[in-house]
Amino acid sequence: MSADTRVVFAGVTFNNPVVAASGTFGFGREYSEYYDLSELGGICTKGLTLAPRLGNPPPRIAETPMGMLNSVGLQNPGVEEFIRYELPFMRRFDTRVIANIAGESAAEYAAMAERLSDAGVDMIEVNVSCPNVKNGGLQFGVSAAAVAEVTREVRRRANVPVMVKLSPNVTDITEMARAAESEGADAVSLINTLLGMRIDIKTRRPVLANNTGGLSGAAVLPVALRMIWQTRQAVRIPILGMGGITTGADAVEALLAGASLVGVGTASFSYPEAALSIRDGIAEYMNQNKIGSVSELTGSVILN
């Protein structure tokens, strides 16, 4: 029996369950020199904003044991340049294009969602780990009311499925997932990076110019699995699970915990073909265990 790795996720068919995570893959140009991007289930673009952004000053990347910290600051060319220059390139490949958007107000998110869905992306990923300028800079993602507001406004304006990317830097991630679902989100993705810090003991200063940054990489996998599992119990909409997935076995764990798709991020920095290796690892596990479809794995963990 040959494993069927296709996944129908929020009404969209993916050729396989592996998606390149936002912020780690750019728009795919650099990775396309290593392999055919059609081999991926999908690509989440780097975070897009209405206007171009230069991002934070360097240093803005730091290695950590089993991972990395980043404080890039959403450097990107802006929505219109993406539509004009990057989207046509991404559309050359037989893979799903998921536009990750970041805004400073619910109205900004909604405007971007409408423009991008009209331009022909397959799905919108709403990054709520952004400061809400109308609420003193507090991140949207740490308030259920703010998550609900953004989701509601984006859902009203988008004509493609909407997925909300949840922050792990909260007391209860299921509260945020329920808020997104209640206002029409078609899916959620999690986890975004954990807030972290490194200090140079010679200078006694933080390694990153922004002092703190987002922690990703293999070290966060157990946290991600716990939050995916919790969220699966709380909502009915599907989950794109990510956070520390480095091997096919890691991806299978995320699927068992409740994910329908898996995102590969930091692993691609050290091994550009990581996503393909992980895809093949999932298929191998399915064949070895006589599992016919990826959907049979989703949420099938057997609890003690």
Residue type present at position 224:
A
User: For residue 25, what pLDDT is reported?
Assistant: 97
Residues of the chain with pLDDT below 70 are: 1, 131-138
Of 158, 225, 219, 214, the residue nearest 186 (C-alpha): 158
Of 130, 154, 145, the residue nearest 178 (C-alpha): 145
User: For residue 2, what pLDDT is reported?
Assistant: 77
Show the tokens assigned to 156: 């009203």
Q: For 165-186, what is each residue's pLDDT tens digit?
A: 999 999 999 999 999 999 999 9
User: For residue 3, what pLDDT is reported?
Assistant: 83
User: For residue 229, what pLDDT is reported?
Assistant: 98
C-beta separation of 50 from 79 below 8 A: yes
3-state secondary structure the chain: CCCECCEEECCEEECCCEEECCCCCCCCCCHHHCCCHHHCCEEECCCECCCCECCCCCCCEEEECCEEEECCCCCECCHHHHHHHHHHHHCCCCCEEEEEECCCCHHHHHHHHHHHHHHCCCEEEEECCCECHHHCCCEHHHCHHHHHHHHHHHHHHCCCCEEEECCCCCCCHHHHHHHHHHCCCCEEEECCCEEECCEECCCCEECCCCCCEEEECHHHHHHHHHHHHHHHHHCCCCEEEECCCCCHHHHHHHHHHCCCEEEECCHHHHCCCHHHHHHHHHHHHHHHCCCCEHHHCCCCCCCC
Cα separations in angstroms, 189 against 23, 109, 200, 235? 14, 17, 33, 12
- For the domain made up of 7-296, give the CATH fold: TIM Barrel (3.20.20)
Tell me the C-alpha distance between 48 and 111, whole Å: 12
User: For residue 129, what pLDDT is reported?
Assistant: 84
User: For residue 130, what pLDDT is reported?
Assistant: 72
Q: Which residues are annotated as catalytic?
A: 130
Pairing relation of β-strands 67-70 and 61-64? Answer: antiparallel
Show the tokens assigned to 278: 């992980």
pTM over cut 0.85: yes
